Amino acid sequence: MKTSQNQPFLVVLSFLAIYIIWGSTYLVNFIAMEDIPPFLLSGLRFLLAGSIMAAIGFVKKDPLPQWQNVKSAAVMGFLFLVMGTAMVVWAEQFIDTGLAALMAAFEPVMVVFFVWLLDRRKPDPKTILGLLLGMTGIYVLVGQPEFPWNKDTFKGLFAISAAIIAWAWGTVAVKNARLPASKSFSASLQMIFGGLILLLFSFINNEPAHFIFQQVSPKSWLAFSYLTLAGSIIAFSAFQYLLHHVKPEKVATSNYVNPVIAVFLGWQLNNENLTGHSLLAAFLLLLGVFLVNLNLNKQN
């Protein structure tokens, strides 16, 4: 793969995008779901974002994808968007946004497992130490309140567990997938296929019957717009870029930073409690990210 002088700068910008934007989407999804059902929300979001990305590809006159590219994009769209993203959104009906973000932070462990299983590449000591620190931070954060064990909690945890496995698998497998050479068409096809599948899920779950367009508040529409433009187009494109330029274990560290962003925004914007335990957990999580990413510049 060709490198350029701008690549380290683009890598840093891409990491900032997936760290900050995706960290904020937990709360923004919760706001949007006040008026828009979860599968319908995600399906419309991805279908609109995918159409915009396709238009960008046509304007740039990027090479059109071949049939094999389309099939690979459909598989990746299912793993990343249907399972890896929409299932987390669906789970937020049953568990709070902070817990959803914290559960998703276990994804780097699954990525390391799949890298070991599929690529036969063992994690180095720094990666292992970083993962252990991150897991310790999660334990500190989760352990402070009394955990709400009930039927709804199990639904949410099961959905997020499935999302973690699917996203981690896709993170490792995408490097061998025959995706379109055009980044615009690659992202657009994944989003369009993911959006269509989610709209099918929405109809199966009879969500349109409970959705009233005229009753969607401006706040929910603003949240939907942010999820589409920032969460799907900007952050997902940055994620795809990183997957082709750095190790998948390092890309997955976004799930250590995202909970910290989610907890902070919940404290500032949603009157959620921020304790000393939360601050300690944030420190441990970020230290874990630092260790896993310690050799990022050498990798580039």
Rounded Cα distance, 110 and 219, in Å: 35
For the chain, list the strands marked E by DSSP. none
First to last CA, the chain: 11
Helix (H) or strand (E) holding 191: helix 183-204
Buried b (16+ CB within 10 A) or exposed e, 36-74: bbbbbbbbbbbbbbbebbbebbeeeebeebeeebbebbb
Residue 116 neighbours by CB distance under 10 Å: 13
Each residue's pLDDT expressed in tens, for the chain with a length of 300 residues: 444 556 888 999 999 999 999 999 999 999 999 999 999 999 999 999 999 999 999 999 999 999 999 999 999 999 999 999 999 999 989 887 877 887 777 777 778 778 877 777 777 888 888 888 878 887 777 666 656 667 888 898 899 989 999 988 998 888 788 999 898 999 999 999 999 999 999 999 999 988 998 999 999 999 999 999 999 899 988 988 898 888 877 887 787 788 888 878 878 887 766 778 777 877 887 787 777 766 444 444
Q: What is the number of alpha carbons within 13 Å of residue 10 lying toward its C-beta?
A: 17
SS3 content of the chain, % helix, strand, coil (to 5): 80, 0, 20
Whole-structure pTM value: 0.82
